Amino acid sequence: MAPVANKEDSPNLILAGFMGTGKSALGRQLAKRWRRRFYDTDELVEKLAGVSIADIFAEHGEEHFRALERQVVESLLPANGAVIACGGGLVVPAGMGELVRSKGIVVTLFASVDTILRRTAGNSRRPLLKGDDPEAKIRDLMKKREQAYMKAGIAVYTDGRSLQQLCVIVERVYEREARASLKSRPKPD
């Protein structure tokens, strides 16, 4: 069941957070439960560029990738009624947190370094973790990004929670925020 009456009019649910925190898995599951469309910004970036994320990083660098992410958020996301999983660094550059928040209700997923390490092993869509010591890279990036993640959305901790439990938690957060945003909307004359 969609938690708010008319799903097309309901605000988007946007999942942010570090790589390997489960944004896509949870997003897909919630979209199925609520019968909403699901979007993954990594997939949209790849469609827009016509090449893989690994190739974008290798050929044009991270800055170009971030510009494509911005373009996706500005132009390719529906205004409402969808569940959207963001790439792990999308909310980090200046102004992106605000931009993403203007597109829906943002929940930021967190997980421990161990969980992230386990979930991200050997994925070519994550060139930032390539190399001998992915754990050091995760710790370093996490430290740099933590503030941005906290500011971007409502924090939900995923360690020790099943997908089913996380669906229930995020659904509650979403409902509460959706109701609050309905109340604060100016009434028509």
Tokens of residue 87, six digits:
């790439």
Among 2, 48, 128, 155, binds ligand S3P (CB under 6 A): 128
CA 50 to each of CA 42, 47, 67, 124, 141: distance values in angstroms, whole numbers, following the listed order? 12, 5, 15, 16, 27
Instruction: Give whichever of 8 and 133 is closer to ligand S3P, judged by the CB atom.
Output: 133
Asked whether 148 and 95 are in contact (CB, 8 A), the reply is: no
Cα separation, 119 vs 122, whole angstroms: 9
Least distance in angstroms from the C-beta of 189 to ligand S3P: 44
49 touches ligand S3P by CB under 6 A? no
Q: Which of 125, 54, 66, 63 is nearest to 99 (CA)?
A: 66
Give the residues across from 40 on adjacent strands: 85
125 touches ligand S3P by CB under 6 A? yes
36 touches ligand S3P by CB under 6 A? no
53 touches ligand S3P by CB under 6 A? yes
**Positive or negative: CA dihedral 92, 95, 100, 105:** positive
Which part of the chain contacts ligand S3P (CB under 6 A), choosing from 8-16, 104-112, 122-130, 180-188? 122-130
Which part of the chain contacts ligand S3P (CB under 6 A), choosing from 25-33, 87-95, 100-108, 175-183? 87-95
19 touches ligand S3P by CB under 6 A? yes
Where on the chain is the footprint of ligand S3P (CB under 6 A)?
A: 19, 42, 53, 87-89, 125-128
